């Protein structure tokens, strides 16, 4: 029978916590028979992040819960605001329209899309030149 050993390594990551300014360490959990688990942990407030940067555990600091809430609150919005997401959504919308409205909708949509693009371009152009 093999003995399961757990071992945690701490290493200075060189980052500072954006909640409390504490030192963030790279934590490697080693367990016999399992792949190493790497995450980042603030030594001061106890927040944990995955290697990819998403929050894994909210710490006990004063700002931690607030920061986590703000992050959760803005995430769906930034997700929808990403250009790739918008393109995907318009394609989906178009597919739904075609499915339920037939190709007649397309004939109506193309001029609308053209007008929309032109209006958008003019607006952007005006904004750059501070017309409004
Ligand atoms: Zn912290
Ligand atoms: Zn924190």
User: pLDDT tens digit string along 10-59?
Assistant: 999 998 998 888 999 999 999 989 999 999 999 999 999 988 878 888 88
97: left (phi over 0), alpha (psi -120 to 50) or beta: alpha
pLDDT in tens, 69-111: 776 665 555 555 667 778 888 888 888 877 777 767 777 778 8
Tell me, in angstroms, the distance from the centre of ligand 1 to residue 61's CA.
Answer: 7
> Which ligand has an atom closest to residue 60 CA?
2
Q: How far apart are CA 89 and CA 125, in angstroms?
A: 25
From the list 59, 1, 63, the residue with the least C-alpha distance to 33 is 1
Query: Hey, what are 126's tokens?
Result: 């005006």
pTM, two decimals, is 0.49
- Are 9 and 30 within 8 A, CB to CB? yes
Tell me, in angstroms, the distance from the centre of ligand 1 to residue 7's CA.
Answer: 23
Q: How far apart are CA 42 and CA 109, in angstroms?
A: 52
130: left (phi over 0), alpha (psi -120 to 50) or beta: left
Tell me, in angstroms, the distance from the centre of ligand 2 to residue 60's CA.
Answer: 7
């Amino acid at each position: 029978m093999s003995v399961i050993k757990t071992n945690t390594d701490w290493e200075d990551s060189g980052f500072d916590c954006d909640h409390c300014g504490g030192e963030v360490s790279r934590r490697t959990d080693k367990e016999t028979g399992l792949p190493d688990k790497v995450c980042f942990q603030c030594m001061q407030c106890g927040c944990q992040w995955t290697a990819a940067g998403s929050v894994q555990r909210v710490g006990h600091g004063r700002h931690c819960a607030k920061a986590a809430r703000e992050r959760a609150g803005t995430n769906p919005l930034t997700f929808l605001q990403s250009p790739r997401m918008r393109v995907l959504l318009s394609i989906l919308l178009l597919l739904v329209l075609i499915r339920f409205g037939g190709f007649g909708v397309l004939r109506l949509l193309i001029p609308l899309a053209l007008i929309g693009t032109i209006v958008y371009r003019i607006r952007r152009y005006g904004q750059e030149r501070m017309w409004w």
